[in-house]
Amino acid sequence: MVRLKRLLLCVCFLCRIRIAEQEQLNDYILDYQPLTYDPLDLHNKHDRIKRSVDQHLQLSFSAYGRDFKLKLQKDNSIFSTDHQTLNGDGSLAPVDTSFIYSGFLEGVCGNDAAAEWMKRHADSVILDQPLNRAARYASETEERHRPYLKYTAENNSGHRKRRATIGEKNTCYLYLRADPILWEHIKFKKYNTKLSDERTQEEILAFFANHVSAVKNIYSKTEFHTYDYAMKYVGVDFVVQRTSVNNDSGNQYCNTNRATSYCNRNIDVTNFLNLNSLDQHDEFCLAYVFTFRDFTKGTLGLAWVGSDSRAAGGVCERHKDYPEGGGRVSKSLNTGIVTVINYGKAVPARVSQLTFAHEIGHNFGSPHDSGPLCAPYGTNRKEAEDGNYIMFASATMGDKPNNDDFSVCSLDNITRVLDAVLNERYGKVNCFQKSTQAFCGNGITEGEEKCDCGYAADCDDKCCYGKGSLVGQECTLREGYQCSPTAGPCCSRDCGYITQEKRSVCQPQDDCKAESLCGYPLLAMCPKAQQKPNGTFCNDFSQICIQGECVKSVCHKINWEECFLTSDENGEGPSREAMCYVSCRNPYTKECVSSYTMTDINKEDNELFKNLLMEIQQQKARDRMNSLELQGIQLPAGSPCDNFRGYCDVFHKCRGVDADGPLARLKNLIFDPKTLQSIKDWIVIHWWAMMLISIGLVVVMGVFIKVCAVHTPSSNPNKPKARKISMTLRRTHRHPRHPHNSQTTALTAHDHRESVDSRSHGRSHTPGASSEATGVARSAAQTSKPNSTTVAATSSGGAEAAVVVEKYQRNSWSGGLPGNVLKKPSLVTTIWKTTCTDVLGKRERKHEEWMTPETWAKIKSRKGLKQKLNQCQDQQEKEGPRAEYWEANRQVKSSVRKDNRCFAHELTEERKQRQQHKLC
């Protein structure tokens, strides 16, 4: 009889069960049941599948009072066909990954399962609908362990419908490495027993497969788009092309002189990432190292952040030299690291998988989520109970709907970086490749697939069966249809081919290809476009076409190589403008000849290059009616320059790549020990200058305090009240331009009485204002002694001046008599107009002496409309009252201006009448 082994089935959230039956495995596995199975039978099935055309394997079992049928098949979508592993001695070797399976539970929609058969042992994880109690327990666990679930202690909804695919080149090829610390944990500690080297390596490869599968599931189904949906991409895929398992056997011993830097156990997270970045990773889209190191401050992962506007860090970044510590160090910034331990506890697979997706999100250009919109958990927003999104700074349990989705902030950032990479802007390189394997569900028709509309839950194509469909075969056409729009642009939404008569353009003309029309042959795919001859100029004459692609520099047309004008470490060398011109290396003289420098072009050795420039200029003259004068070839914006250390901006000037950013550079400049020492030495030598600077600073502060003292409130009741700054700023407008005359101005009682009698010519005024003016005039007469100037003023224009003074005093903003009113009465009208214009519409209450009752009625009506507008809550309700209010406000201002003009006119008329009375 075959000995039975126990299969530990870890069911995260499977079905509703009784609380008394639950057996908790750890803080993260809420319940499990051990199962028994025949390992020999499964192993034989696995061996048969390896040699069989039918790749399906079925496993039936019972748990929690239910029968389950697990349908699995070999998962060929994780590792590429040319996948190899890097051994400790630097050699590459193929790896058997046939033990990795994926599948689903029959009869249950919307679930995934993964299993790995390693030497007659099986592990599996099944995810299904969550339990009510399990969700509550997970929430409590999350709060209790929140310090242990951070990506970093310092804070260093995706649409599912298919709208715009990236294209055939949609796959990001990965290089995954396991360091010796992770190897040691899995080999000796994970199962509380020592595993063989072969079994340990299979465990690590299965670990890689689970994490990549989770990331593929998130990214491939996400539609990346900007806020305004101007750019949209879907179908991002990941494939492992190379792995490296650093073990402590063979040629690599961590306790010998051959030990690598990865054997160092006392390395912090920043230096660990830097260690991964020092290797050359140009062959890969991203390169990650997985470890079992317990980093400080609860760090679970770290990665370089991509950018859509500069070529330093992130996906597809190339190995370059970057300034560091006063020198230059070569690094690959398309890297990241992930650890699976936090504060002494191994994190669950779900958390480490979301960490991996989070760090890749950084590589793709997304910073951490912030604000209520993109980090809603704990806020008052409706979606707060759905949890935070992937790019939130702290890790999550992964049990809430938003935990494996991207926020709109992340979608916008990632979309912009994808657009920059795919179109190779700002010196970036598009390293996405065409997948060599068919994967049903990624939205791309490939291999033997007839169509691919994504997962069944997201498929809106009536022509195709989606992945996981309960009826029909996945990624095949529905009965009665010719094609699916997912198979190509020449299939209509009615699931029929587009004929040649419709002359539908499926691929527009570009620099290297003619346009292509649907209908010949009759296929869903766009017919191959006719290629333009090799050597045709493209990309604004900076490159040439080779086999229909704009890939070679224009230098290759004369069999020269492209080169760069470069600057030295101090930035000395050619101008920034010159470095953004095409340069070619003469194969005979080895000189880098720039099309910017005409003296080099005109040399006899460079005649071929000169002829090339003349040919380009002639073609430009034919196409664009340009001048035939010989000119250089400017590199397009975004092209690399200065030997890949910069890129050409829109002004065709070479801008250097900054790996640190301006803030880090400023911090290094200020707090650099050399800078601080230089400042200290300068102070010691120029001590007298520091003393003068200190004294000057004290004097300036004292003057500032003295000047602002009048505006500072005081609790001393004997002190005058603090003056408003607005009063100080208006003083220059309230006083006449000329200084007050030292001679006192006086008005006779006779002149004043005449001024009071003259009020019948103007508007009616209040008696209080009249008596106030009389009191002022008498007071002035009692306190001043008549002199020649006063008598002259009184005899020539005293009567009209009295009227002016009374009017001005009654409606004065400054509250006092202007000193030059008697000397220059003609200035009064100008002063009135200027003053009224300055305060028009702001201080209507001060105009009550000369504004009409109709104006005051309009002001009162406007006030009522303002109160009605403030009572409206909804924006749509405010539209009507807002329009009425602004119309009333316009009428008030118009009426105030009218009353102001009338008052100025009456003032002038009174002056004329007084002048005529004096002549009589």
Residue 74 near residue 98, CB atoms below 8 Å:
yes
**Backbone torsions φ then ψ of 908, nearest 5 degrees:** -65, -40
Q: Which of 217, 218, 195, 199 is nearest to 207 (CA)?
A: 199
Residue with tokens 């195709």: 464
- Is 505 in a helix, a strand, or coil? strand
Buried (b) or exposed (e) across 498-513, using 16+ Cβ within 10 A? beeeeebebbeeebbb
Buried (b) or exposed (e) across 637-650, using 16+ Cβ within 10 A? bbbbbbebbbbbbe
Residue with tokens 């204002």: 769
Nearest-angstrom CA–CA distance, 545 and 512: 6
Nearest-angstrom CA–CA distance, 848 and 857: 12
Residue 153 near residue 217, CB atoms below 8 Å:
no
Residues β-bridged to residue 778: none
Nearest-angstrom CA–CA distance, 521 and 406: 41
**CA dist 630 to 565, 596, 601, 611, Å?**
20, 10, 10, 10
Catalytic residue check, 448:
no
Residue 442 near residue 458, CB atoms below 8 Å:
no
**DSSP per residue, 364-430:** TT-----HHHHS-TTSSSGGGGG---TTSSB---S-SGGGGS--HHHHHHHHHHHHHHHTT-TT---
**CA dist 408 to 237, 389, 868, Å?**
20, 10, 37
How many CA atoms lie less than 13 Å away from 180 in the CB half-sphere?
A: 18
750 is in an annotated binding site: no
761 is in an annotated binding site: no
Nearest-angstrom CA–CA distance, 884 and 866: 9
Residue of 142, 202, 203, 359 with catalytic role: 359
Nearest-angstrom CA–CA distance, 808 and 810: 6
**CA dist 208 to 100, 261, 299, 871, Å?**
11, 22, 20, 61
Taken in order 358, 359, 363, 367, the sign of the CA dihedral is positive
Nearest-angstrom CA–CA distance, 224 and 157: 10
- Is 700 in a helix, a strand, or coil? helix
Q: Which of 3, 326, 284, 351 is nearest to 148 (CA)?
A: 351
368 is in an annotated binding site: yes
Nearest-angstrom CA–CA distance, 676 and 670: 7
Buried (b) or exposed (e) across 199-233, using 16+ Cβ within 10 A? bbbbbbbbbbbbbbbbbbbbbbbbbbbbeeeeebb
Nearest-angstrom CA–CA distance, 814 and 731: 9
* Alpha helix segments (H runs only) across 847-874: 853-871
The dihedral region occupied by 472, where left means phi > 0, alpha psi between -120 and 50, and beta the remainder, is left
Residues annotated as catalytic are 359
- Residues of the binding site: 358, 362, 368
